[in-house]
């Protein structure tokens, strides 16, 4: 999923050591807990500062939070069973297990509902009553670019155009042929629109591309809301500002 994820090029990866790239295929489940476990191993073994980059807000928050996530392994058998049940029915099941948690999740958010049911069954208790252990504390500094939203949206549009030129559609076809309609691919902006195009939801290829831009802008808007809710995050204008702070 090189193009759709804007993966660093091999040239970029040769300039500085990158971690957690090409570690899993699109037909496998990968949770925030998996990310935390692998990231902690890398951080604890490194003598150099680590840069954690990306918009994967929940994953980064889970790693740097002051409390740990429950160590609940993915139950593939249970997930496969639950995937075949309607989202609203699953929500009702979660409501019985943990009404407080259910109120925090939209009835259509199937992935979160399934994970919550999985956790409730693993803990044999409501997640909302689970007391998390204290997490190891990292000396982390948080930054986000101070970018005008209109400028950001225009950059997103240009980025999608560039992805199309680089062969995004062919990449999707190749991965669909190799892995089929996996949950990861169906939920990935930049792939799911091509599935929808095949289903006749859009009139033509151009409309599907416009939907990729729209959905990416919507996602970016949600990301900004998440980032601004964290008082630890400092907005910066240039990389030089970060370099100066790290020197201090």
pLDDT, residue 132, reads: 65
Spatial distance between the Cα atoms of 70 and 79, rounded to a whole number of angstroms? 17
pTM: 0.76
Q: What is the pLDDT of residues 121-157, one digit of tens each?
A: 888 888 877 766 666 678 888 888 888 889 999 999 9
The domains located in the chain, with CATH, are 10-64 (no CATH), 76-129 (1.10.20.140), 142-247 (1.10.287.890)
Task: Give residue 19's pLDDT.
Answer: 93
| Helical segments of 2-109, H only | 10-15, 32-45, 57-64, 76-83, 87-97, 99-103
Residue 66 has pLDDT above 80, yes or no: no
Instruction: Say which residue the tokens 């980025």 belong to.
Output: 159
Residue 172 in this model has a pLDDT that exceeds 70: yes
Q: To the nearest 10°, report the CA torsion of 96, 102, 106, 108.
A: -30
Q: Which of 43-52, 132-141, 187-196, 223-232 has the lowest mean pLDDT?
A: 132-141
Judged against a pLDDT cut of 80, whether residue 96 lies above it is answered with: yes
User: How do residues 177-212 score in pLDDT, each as one tens digit?
Assistant: 999 989 889 989 999 999 999 999 999 999 999 999
pLDDT band at 67, cuts 50/70/90? low
């Amino acid at each position: 999923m090189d193009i759709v994820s804007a993966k660093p090029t091999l040239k970029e990866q040769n300039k500085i050591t990158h971690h957690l790239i090409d570690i899993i295929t699109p037909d496998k489940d990968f949770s925030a807990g998996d990310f935390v476990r692998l990231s902690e191993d890398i951080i604890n073994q490194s003598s150099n500062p680590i840069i954690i980059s990306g918009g994967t807000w929940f994953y980064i928050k889970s790693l740097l939070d002051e409390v740990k996530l429950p160590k609940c392994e993915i139950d593939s058998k249970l997930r496969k069973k639950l995937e075949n049940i309607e989202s609203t029915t699953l929500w009702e099941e979660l409501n019985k297990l943990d009404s407080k948690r259910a109120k925090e999740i939209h009835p259509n958010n199937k992935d979160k509902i399934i994970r919550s049911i999985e956790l409730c069954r693993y803990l044999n208790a409501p997640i909302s009553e689970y007391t998390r252990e204290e997490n190891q504390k990292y000396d982390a500094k948080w930054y986000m670019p101070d970018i005008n939203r209109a400028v950001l949206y225009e950059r997103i549009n240009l980025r999608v155009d560039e992805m199309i030129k680089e062969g995004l559609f062919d990449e999707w076809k190749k991965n669909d042929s190799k892995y089929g309609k996996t949950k990861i691919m169906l939920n990935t902006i930049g792939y799911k629109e091509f599935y929808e195009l095949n289903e006749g939801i859009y009139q033509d290829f151009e409309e599907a591309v416009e939907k990729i831009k729209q959905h990416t802008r919507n996602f970016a808007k949600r990301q900004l809301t998440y980032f601004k809710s964290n008082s630890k995050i400092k907005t910066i204008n240039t990389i030089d500002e970060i370099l100066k702070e790290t020197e201090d």
